[in-house]
Amino acid sequence: MKVKVIVHEAEEGGYWAEVPAIPGCATQGDSFEELLSSLYEAVEGCLAIDIDDKPHSSTDRILKIAV
Q: What tens digit of pLDDT does each residue of 41-58 get?
A: 999 898 886 655 667 788
Looking at the structure of the chain, the number of domains it has is: 1
Sheet strands side by side (includes 26-29): 6-9, 15-18, 26-29
Q: What radius of gyration do the chain's Cα atoms show?
A: 16
Any idea what the CATH number is for the domain that residue 65 is in?
Answer: 3.30.160.250
**What pLDDT score does 9 carry?**
95
**What pLDDT score does 61 carry?**
77
pLDDT tens sequence across 5-42: 999 999 999 999 999 988 899 999 999 999 999 999 99
pLDDT range class, residue 66, cuts 50, 70, 90? low
pTM of the complete model: 0.68
What element of type H or E holds 29? strand 26-29
Domain that holds residue 27: 1-67
